Amino acid sequence: MSSSESPGAHVFDGIRIADFAWVGVGPNATMQMAFHGAEVIRVESSHRPDTFRSGGPRPAGDGSLDASAYFAKFNRGKRSVAINLAHPRGAEVAKRLIATADIVTESFAPGFMERIGLSYEEVRRIKPDVIMCSMSMEGQTGPHAGFRGFGLTLQATAGVTGVTGWPDRPPVGTGVAYTDWVATHIGIIGILSALDHRRRTGEGQYIDLSQFEASTLVLDAGVIDAANTGRVAGPLGNRDLRYAPHGVYPCADDHTGGDRWIAIAVTNDDQWRCLAQIMDRQDWLESDALCDAAGRLAAQDALDEGITAWTSQQTVDEVERTLQAVGVPAHRASNVRDAHEDPQLAHRNHWWTSDHPVIGELSYESPPWRLSDTPPPMPRRSPLLGEDSEYVNRELCGYSQEEFQQLMVEGVVE
């Protein structure tokens, strides 16, 4: 990892983000800018803490708002100021911070920022060239603008859940806050393109990001198909409309704990022949019907049965090694331990260790991209709630020590 002297540490030097967003999407987006030198200030409050501050994992027995590794994951490299926005003077402090900011992000239910006097119109009055990005569930306008949710449920609205499952069973969805990992990138791309526009023109703007709309992008051609033909894609298990065999097959117990599975995806005829050869299936090799994808798709029940019989006699290590050696796409269905220990991710130094006074030493994800010339330095640990309140109030908002103390006494800031 480069030192802080690397240009990667300074890409967003001088850019300050007043980050009112919470939970996954907004904080994940602003963290990528914090990694490269943006001063990202999380505006928080113990009266309404970020949901992830109450989440886990956390050191045993520590229920405090500073003990959540889940929160730490999304907030490395940032500062935290604790402002009670529900207090009558909360908006006053927030406005002083906004006056110094280049970017304002928020992900409250639409209407909240207006109610506390921080609408885009007001924010722009304070800082005319500000870029403000709202990242709500379904956008700022429309009959469902106030509807609530989070990534676990929004993926259902956004169509992902309905295509995740077995055709003979109810859909299951992804079991993670899936749409978070989609909407966050539309947020990053939108904010950074707006910042580029401002750099050229001096003009700021307002971005209304609907996580629902952004998330439909990953439905591939599903939505455009329904809109123009009325066809509705459904769940296929692990099967594919173009490729066969294509599935996740059981392997023998390798005594590492849990069940073990291998994914195999035959995407062309060469791979098919290699698979059949490795499996020593002369009948498959000699079958004219199986020599192209159409024939294999028609026969996939039998193919899956044959592959299952073959994989279940071997460990996942053996199958993975054997098939990759001949160029057949195959990989274990990694569980979280496999991902943590994966040699390729280790080669990329993907998991970045961070020490934290409450959580201790733990590793967190890094960006899935590597920049050759401007890698970021290892980020500062995530902040304790309100850790930078004095800095923000005194240095940025311009309050005197007496005024800051008074705000603390009144419960406006923590």
Closest to 380 measured CA to CA, from 16, 6, 3, 35: 35
β strands within 223-357, DSSP E? 246-250, 261-265, 330-332, 351-354
Q: How many CB atoms lie within 10 A of CB 120?
A: 21
Residues of span 236-275 touching another protein by CB under 8 A: 236-243, 246-250, 257-258, 261, 263, 265, 267-269, 271
Task: Say whether residue 369 binds another protein (CB under 8 A).
Answer: yes
- Identified binder of another protein from the candidate list 370, 395, 398, 400, rule CB under 8 A: 370
Active site residue 180: yes
- Identified binder of another protein from the candidate list 99, 116, 333, 408, rule CB under 8 A: 333
Residue among 268 and 406 whose Cβ is closer to another protein: 268
- Identified binder of another protein from the candidate list 3, 121, 200, 255, rule CB under 8 A: 200
Least distance to another protein from the beta carbon of 127, Å? 15
Residue among 296 and 404 whose Cβ is closer to another protein: 296
Task: Say whether residue 154 binds another protein (CB under 8 A).
Answer: yes
Q: Is the peptide bond before 245 cis (omega within 30 degrees of 0)?
A: yes
Task: Say whether residue 3 binds another protein (CB under 8 A).
Answer: no
Q: Which stretch binds another protein (CB under 8 A): 100-108, 148-156, 278-286, 397-405?
A: 148-156
Distance CA 273, CA 269 (A): 6
Residues of span 63-122 touching another protein by CB under 8 A: 69-70, 73
Hey, is 210 helix, strand or coil?
A: strand
Least distance to another protein from the beta carbon of 68, Å? 9
CA 110 to chain centre: 22
Distance CA 216, CA 159 (A): 7
Task: Say whether residue 189 binds another protein (CB under 8 A).
Answer: yes
Choosing from 19, 102, 180, 388, the catalytic residue is 180
Q: Are 69 and 362 contacting, i.e. CB atoms less than 8 angstroms apart?
A: yes
Task: Say whether residue 312 binds another protein (CB under 8 A).
Answer: no
Distance CA 293, CA 123 (A): 57
